[in-house]
Amino acid sequence: LYTQRLISHLPEGEHLSILDVGGGAGETALTLSKLGHDLEIVVPSPPLAKRCEAKMSQGTPVHNLGFEEYETNRQFDVCLFSESFQYIPLEVSLKKARKVTRQGGLILISDCFRTPEGQQTKLKYRPVGGGHAITRFHEEVEKAGLEIAFMDDITDKVAPSIDLESELNKFIGSSIFRIDRELKDKNPLIRGTMATIFRLLTRDKSRDKLKERLEGHLRNKVEFCKYNCYLMVGMVNPQ
């Protein structure tokens, strides 16, 4: 459903040239290629680059480097960031996207952004989700000389997956806590030694974060929707 919704935002055309920034394991690129589009992939992870190469046809260029280092004289019909935009500095991504997208071409972003609530710095725990601050994103869009053509908010569609993740974490956590209690009752010396080693190898903040994740209190769809918005954003390159 996610991929189909993403595809619905592509411009009309049977043989679009598409730069897939981030690439992942190549699933989205493979789907687009099967629809007849001409793909080029930029992916910084060597293992993921190999998976992309294995999935795609031999004629599909796969560049194992970050978007910041990527250079080309080619201009694409679409510059696509599918869940990769948040990992690239804002001051780089939009300006470079304009450079590699033809005049009238589409810059298409599908990713998570932080709401104003999610940008607070005094929160005890890092909120679920992530991404660039939505306010700063709008500022950088203007600086890059772009205008938003459409913005499809799918936060409520992706949020339920957070509850599934939380339930899995709570299941794992309850198992770990049960084993810990049993060790404490039956083998207190071994349990004490293990606890001491764990404390020596980890920071207080890391232990608190792990405990919070395993208990699953703050990782749910309500918290996700409060601190994040998940958007599919399209901008037409006016250059």
pLDDT digits (tens, 9 = 90+) for 138-147: 999 999 999 9
Which residue type does 176 have? I
Residues 153, 230 contacting (CB under 8 angstroms): yes
Q: How far is CA 37 from CA 31, 33, 60, 113, in A?
A: 9, 5, 11, 28
Architecture of domain 2-155+227-236: 3-Layer(aba) Sandwich (3.40)
pTM of the model: 0.80
Chain centroid to Cα 227, Å, comes to 15
Q: Phi and psi of 18, rounded to 5°?
A: -130, 125
Could you give the CA distance from residue 190 to residue 208 in angstroms, rounded to a whole number?
Answer: 22
How much is the pLDDT for 128? 82
pLDDT tens for 176-200 read 777 778 788 888 888 788 778 877 7
Domain assignments of the chain as residue spans, ordered by start: 2-155+227-236, 160-221
How much is the pLDDT for 131? 94
Per-residue pLDDT of the chain (239 residues; tens, 9 = 90+): 789 999 999 999 889 999 999 999 999 999 999 999 999 999 999 999 999 999 998 889 999 999 999 999 999 999 999 999 999 999 999 999 999 999 999 999 999 999 988 877 666 667 788 899 999 999 999 999 999 999 999 999 988 777 566 666 555 666 777 777 878 888 888 878 877 887 777 777 676 666 666 565 667 788 888 999 999 999 999 96
| DSSP code at position 118 | G
Q: If residue 151 lies in a helix (H) or strand (E), which one and from where to where?
A: strand 148-153
Work out whether the CA dihedral 147, 153, 155, 161 comes out positive or negative: negative
Q: Are strands 17-21 and 101-114 parallel, antiparallel or unpaired?
A: unpaired
